[in-house]
Amino acid sequence: MHTLTLAEMRSALESGDFSSVELCRHYIDRIKSQNEALNAFVSITEEQAMEAARVADQKRASGNLDGALHGLPIGHKDIFCTDGVRTTCGSRMLEEFVPPYNATVVEKLKAAGAICLGKTNMDEFAMGSSNENSYFGAVRNPWDNDRVPGGSSGGSAAAVGGRLVPACTGTDTGGSIRQPAAFCGITGLKPTYGRVSRYGMIAFASSLDQGGPMAVTAEDCALLLNEMAGFDERDSTSIERDKDDYVSSLGNSIDGVKIGLPKQYFDAGLDSSIATALQVAIAELEKLGAKFVDIDLANQHLSVPAYYIVAPAECSSNLARFDGVRYGHRCDDPKDLEDLYKRSRAEGFGREVKRRILVGTYALSAGYYDAYYLKAQKIRSLISRDFSQAFESVDFILGPTTPSPAFKLGEKTGDPVEMYLNDIYTIPANLAGLPGISVPCGEAEGLPVGMQLVGNYFDEARLLNVAHQYQAVTDWHTRLPE
């Protein structure tokens, strides 16, 4: 069963090949047998899932389906609040936090009939590119357990890549859906900023964070996005705009579609094996009728330094609420209020989170706000303008998702800057608020390679269409780790 896609499972449930109870039991057994090796899940909701599966089967028998995902198992990144289920954000600070409500994404997927099997591991408060920053230990790549799965949605990527679950939710602040999707050989979509509600999604950087689907195929991501997307009055950053049917347009021809190739994405910093895989993928898209043109995104090289001012500044503000007073970790026997603040935060936050809080607080301080934060926001505007100008002549932009295949655990932990550069190709889309998708397009050193496509604002339907058409003529997304 675990070799099927989400769409294939839905058809099999409809035809009675197996029940939701049998499907969920199969996946829970896989999680139990393989999670020790991957550390992809931090919580398994077996009892709730099996009860939900039994109810789903009863409803199906009576012809009363909840929605398009009725009886299908998924996982949630442990950054989405889940009513009555521990939500840790990969941090000691929230180790025992049990929310009394569901995030909008969780609520919508549940209403569509999806069954949550558990919460997936992640870099603490979504800060990281390797999933080595979790309080609950590093996640391991299913293709090579000595390598990272990417981050911060590494638990979701490893769970889907290892087929412990057919699909998961993730969040993307600077590439945290697309980069781990590339490392683990799956498909990951970051929607346009504001397309998916952030309500109940614990904030890292509020102007950058965006939830999205992670699955085996573009078709599966379309199924999930159909349910996840939409306006939410509880989220002030949610866009009030009609959503598309992301599944119905998957079969459209891509003949004549114009795709831009930025020269900045194919320079000396790109691993030669990834460059080769991309050239083969480009040839496949050309066979489908896509037209390629060279473009110039002149300010892309400034995206990493701008991001690492904007994101830490916003995280400094967002994480100020975790002070040991209202909820979250609280130190033992504080001497006074100042001691409570200091020790609770020192004990509750990990090294990377502390680093970013310090950088962000410094950038926002009175003497440095103009020199750092304001300048970073101006650069952000230049990057957005580069994209807007490019989309006047092309429909999509293609490039690598990552500069190299998955690296070894511990290889980059001693050099934060080298770690940050892993997001060099994904960060620009977040700064501009654009949608982007990563799809498997080859292998290098026996590891998956990801191809990234970036679209114009709210063009997820066509973006998924191109990805689906590419997957219809290739099999990289079907390959499984040994």
Beta carbons within 8 Å of 230's beta carbon, 6+ residues apart: 108, 196, 197, 243
Secondary structure of 128-189 in the HEC alphabet?
A: CCCCCCCCCCCCCECCECCECCCCCCHHHHHHHHCCCCCEEEEEECCCCCHHHHHHHCCEEE
Nearest to 398 by CA among 242, 240, 234, 288: 288
Query: Which positions are catalytic?
Result: 77, 152, 176
Q: How far separated are the first and last CA of the chain, in Å rounded?
A: 16
Beta carbons within 8 Å of 14's beta carbon, 6+ residues apart: none
Beta carbons within 8 Å of 480's beta carbon, 6+ residues apart: 3, 163
Cα distance between residue 420 and residue 179, in whole Å = 12
The count of C-alpha atoms lying within 13 angstroms of the C-alpha of 241, restricted to the half-sphere facing its C-beta, is 16
Helix, strand or coil for residue 117?
A: strand
Nearest to 143 by CA among 188, 187, 170, 183: 183
Nearest to 19 by CA among 49, 47, 60: 60
Cα distance between residue 328 and residue 438, in whole Å = 34
Q: What is the DSSP letter of 421?
A: G
Element holding 279 (H helix, E strand): helix 272-287
**Read out DSSP for 438-455?**
EEEEEEETTEEEEEEEEE
